[in-house]
A and B are shown apart, each in its own frame.
Chain A
Amino acid sequence: MNPHALIRRCFSAVAALALAAGALAVAAPGAAAQEEDTDTLRIATNQEVDTFNPFKRRFVITYETSMMTYETLVRMSAENYEPVPGLATEWEESADGLTWTFKIREGATWSDGEPLTADDVAYTYGLLIENQAIRDWNIDFAQNLVSAEATDESTFVLTLASPAPAEVLSREVYIVPEHIWSEYPDPSADDANQLPLVGSGPFQVTEYKTDEFIRLEANEDYWEGAPGFDEVVYDYYVETDAAVAALEAGEVNIVGNGMQGALNPAQIDALKSQEHVTTNDVQGRRYVSLTINHGTVTKDGTEFGDGHPALKDPFVRQALHMAIDKQALVDTVLDGSGEPATSLIPSIFEQWHWDGGDKLVQFDLAEANRLLDEAGYARGADGIRTMPGGGEPLNFRFYHHADNTAYATIVEFATEWWAELGIAVEAQAIEQGTLNDLAYLGEFDIAFSGWGVGPNPTEQLGMHTCAVLPTLTDGSERSSENSYCNATFDELHEQQKVESDPGARAELVKLQQEMLYTETPVIWLYYQNVMEAYNHDRVTGMTPQPAGGMVTGQQGFTWSYYTAQPAGTAEDGGVPMGVWIAVAAAAVAVAAAAVVFVMRRKKTVDERE
């Protein structure tokens, strides 16, 4: 045998081995048994599972799986996020606001068939009180809990240290089965990840392959009736473009909130031309804002950071605000998929949103110039204003996230507008981690920020209270959004937290927003729409939240996936016939080629002899 033949045979052997071994290794662990005619709702995602433990989850994806697997006492309605009955059919707050009594729904069962009782509820809330790790992870809510007990099969009583009606009704505490969880040595640890999960919700997580898929199977005995689909599968796509192609090809049914950094206007436009796809471009919960360094301080008043002194002056901040055409930003940067922002709470939460009223700042460069003139910021020879009495020019460092092209465009617009005011900016694109570090160290002048706001505004408003100011100057405490601290604001905040009447509470919340708006420690630019798309040939009947709103990214209950109904015929039951035929054809072709090859070699040998 000559060396060439040897090497060739080695190659063939290695190739065959690599193929066979790889296939074996990957296939051997085996997937769960599947029936041929399963109706599967397939949703694109790219976010990892941090933990299936509902007390410790932080990510959006595990929020969604928790919401499907388990249930809360009180849901958020599909119409407008109002509290509506979930596992509790009714509830009552005592006159002093410290005792809450819930009637637990009869006939609800766990997915393993055991009945769900008030004892399970008491056990769950008890974990928040007694399990140290779970308590720490949820300390903002748990520290206010005094006791949790079941007074009978269907009555649960929760006692608080201080009144917190909004928190009690909107805090999503997922009720877990005591008969399973009490067996865990440590319910705060990964024991809670044992699959299949046992819950009382419409779908339970049964299988998870990292970066491949998460499978949730329908709870056929769900108290409100079995869901329309037999299972929900989250499919992993690293790239949104690939998810879009898969939606077009019919491989995935829904692309939306599950993909972090979801669809962009160009992708939505491309999808609009597809007959089987419905696109949604609806109000979202997210705002984009500019944080202005008006002076970073610690709780005891120590100033730190190196913000520009002019930004301490509210007139300068208001002038900056007045010189931003928010509508133009929405039209150009978002392609119209959003709306100009006023203050902290997006208009999707119409009961909490403050519309600006007669305080609404209009885009007016002349008026902004007048404000600055009056405040004594005279223009220098180069046209740039300086601090009153001469001195430092108004030249601000403007930091934006390097991975966000929309922010880069906004910077270009703002730079031009502010140049009209005689204000110069030094724009700099910075990687997100570094930008956060600088922001919390107070080493910036103007920087981008953005948050998704929840249905309970307390969390977001709380980021602007004196209580969350850092105690250290090293930037390690990151609870305060921008060192805002105002006693009146804090007072309003405490009042709204304990106000049980939604109308009265809304007034307080709007006053808080008005304060933030007029004092301008932050300029809210716009509320960003959610863009999502789904295959209406396969999925119908999804309930949006709020009314006319989104089908992905829902809060407080999985309205859309629960009400979704399969349509048409799914063809993804196992390996398609065509593939088997192709495999057979390939095998025949290879065999034929081998025969031809052998014949030819034989011929050469014959010739040679």
Chain B
Amino acid sequence: MTERSLPADGASLEAPSAGRGRVSSGFGRYLFKHVSGAAVSLLLVLFSSFFIFRLIAGDPIDQLTKERPVSAEQRAAMRAELGLDRPLWQQFWDYIAGTLTMDLGESFQYRRPIFDLIVERLPATLLLSGTGMVLAVLLGFWIGTRSGWKQGSRFDKGHVATGLVLYSAPTFWLGMIVILIFARYLGLFPVNGMRSPSTPPDFWSQAVDIGHHLVLPVLTYTAVVYAGYLMIMRSSILDELGSDYLTTARAKGLRDDEVRQRHAVPNALLPTVTLVFLALGSVVNGSIVTETVFSWPGLGTLFVNSIFYPDRPVLQALFVLFSSSTILAVLCAEILYWFIDPRIRRS
């Protein structure tokens, strides 16, 4: 459900309760506190990833030899090749040392280095969820601002209702509906994948082909997540509505649009910075279901394929990657907050 969890508001707002210090040392302490917190989280992720995926029962060799009888010797040969015959502590050590040196091991299913698999898929995922995220944030903020400004209007009611309906629709179902309408019946867009194998290799053909394939997944992804940004922006604007400075602005004779754009919006945007950073963190893992429906060759598809297999080393690596990108994004948001929110510096 990573796609639609509303980022916890104010995760970064906890202020140190200690007395006031000088600004520079205050920042040092603030930084140290949050960096060390992130480091501890990363370590926990690293350790737990190894054990979590060992809870998935079953012998990996069963999957490798599915539907085909094999002798005990063949099983042993495969076990040795996958390193499964080594003692657990040694596997654990290999995993830790490997992860720290970017040698993530080899996938059971793909029989290739996991690092290569991830590097190969990262661009596809960034393209899909990056585009979708930017669109969702822009759309959500734009509609949210106007909805909040004219609270209770037909525009407000209509958009909040639409947004929430899409937000509650299962991504999987929405994706299939989108495929049926736009690919199957209207034939405007391809059903699956990121590009057609028969597209000429030159840059423009490839770019257009990828753009063509990108439309439906991005549409689905954006439709599902934008309501989150809409609601946050809307409530943020609502908080500002009664403020004195808006009355002052109006008293200066500014038009309503200008009061909103030049005065209300900048103040309302501040609390949403965290949200945007958390969103950046989930760009890496944010589109698992969308990727699956559209067979988009990204990290989400890799993750789903690995769960079904189950491909333990890949799951381990992706778990670490997904978690650490979120942890690092939160850390960035916290550091940024020091600079944009004076209240933290003062406390």
Contact = CB atoms under 8 A, between A and B. Distances in A.
A462 interface: yes
Contacts, number: 237
B62 interface: yes
Given A249-B191, A433-B57, A34 B199 contact: yes
A173 B310 CA distance: 29
Interface string B146-189: 00000000000000000000000000000010011001100100
Contact of A22 (B131, B305, B310): B131
Interface stretch (B39-47, B220-228, B258-266): B258-266
A460 B304 CA distance: 32
B75 interface: yes
B194 to A, nearest CB: 6
Contacts of A239: 292-293, 295
Interface string B100-128: 00000000011110000100110110110
Interface in A108-157: 133, 136-140
A179 interface: no
A236 B297 contact: yes
Contacts of B196: 572, 574-575
Nearest to A139: B73
Given A48-B109, A238-B305, A459-B69, A33 B74 contact: no
Nearest to A481: B69
A49 interface: yes
A92 interface: no
B210 interface: yes
A136 B74 contact: yes
Contacts of B66: 58
B69 A463 contact: yes
Contacts of B180: 245
Question: Of residues B57, B137, B292, B294, which shows the largest number of chain A Cβ atoms within 10 Å of its Cβ?
Answer: B57
Nearest to A134: B77
A434 B180 CA distance: 37
Contacts of A486: none
A110 B211 CA distance: 39
Contacts of A215: 197
Contacts of B244: none
A32 B184 CA distance: 28
B336 interface: no
B84 to A, nearest CB: 11
Contact of B71 (A21, A139, A241, A460): A139
A50 B124 CA distance: 22
A18 interface: yes
B197 A233 contact: yes
B161 to A, nearest CB: 26
A434 to B, nearest CB: 4
Contacts of B200: 31, 33-34, 574
Interface string B249-279: 0000000000001100110010000000000
Contacts of A460: 69
Contacts of B292: 238-239
Interface stretch (A2-10, A98-106, A522-530): A2-10
B297 A209 contact: yes
Nearest to A578: B188
A18 B59 contact: no
Contact of A31 (B176, B199, B295): B199
Contact of B301 (A21, A209, A211): A211
A14 interface: yes
Interface stretch (A327-335, A379-387, A471-479, A509-517): A471-479
Given A212-B194, A479-B72, A574-B200, A19 B131 contact: yes
Contact of B206 (A4, A30, A190, A210): A30
Interface string B125-142: 011001100110110000
A549 to B, nearest CB: 19
A3 B198 contact: no
Contacts of B208: 575, 579-580, 583
Contact of B57 (A31, A48, A434): A434
A346 to B, nearest CB: 14
A476 B75 CA distance: 9
B74 A137 contact: yes
Given A136-B74, A579-B208, A50 B111 contact: yes
A579 B58 contact: no
Question: Of residues A207, A210, A245, A479, which shows the largest number of chain B Cβ atoms within 10 Å of its Cβ?
Answer: A210
B62 A436 contact: yes
B138 A18 contact: no
B111 A437 contact: no
Contact of A433 (B62, B74, B201): B62
Interface in A9-47: 11, 14-15, 18-19, 21-28, 30-34, 38, 40
Contacts of B76: 136
Given A15-B138, A432-B58, A26 B124 contact: yes
B131 A18 contact: yes
B74 A140 contact: yes
B177 to A, nearest CB: 11
B293 A242 contact: yes
B197 A31 contact: yes
Contact of B62 (A15, A19, A211, A478): A478
A502 B14 CA distance: 81
A51 interface: yes
Contact of A212 (B62, B117, B297): B297
B230 to A, nearest CB: 16
Contacts of B70: 140, 479
Contact of B110 (A25, A210, A463, A583): A210
Nearest to A25: B123
A446 B301 CA distance: 35
Interface in A202-250: 207, 209-213, 215, 233, 235-239, 241-243, 245-246, 248-249
A451 interface: yes
B59 A22 contact: no
B293 A574 contact: no
B72 to A, nearest CB: 5
Contact of B192 (A235, A574, A583): A235
B197 A213 contact: yes
A251 B294 CA distance: 14
12 contacts: A4-B269, A7-B269, A30-B206, A32-B201, A136-B74, A140-B74, A242-B179, A433-B310, A437-B59, A476-B59, A479-B72, A574-B199
The 8 closest A-B pairs by CB, nearest first: A433-B58, A22-B127, A25-B123, A136-B77, A27-B206, A434-B57, A18-B130, A211-B297
Given A26-B127, A575-B199, 16 more contacts: A4-B261, A22-B123, A25-B127, A26-B194, A33-B200, A34-B199, A48-B109, A136-B73, A136-B77, A210-B117, A210-B121, A211-B121, A433-B58, A433-B59, A433-B62, A434-B57
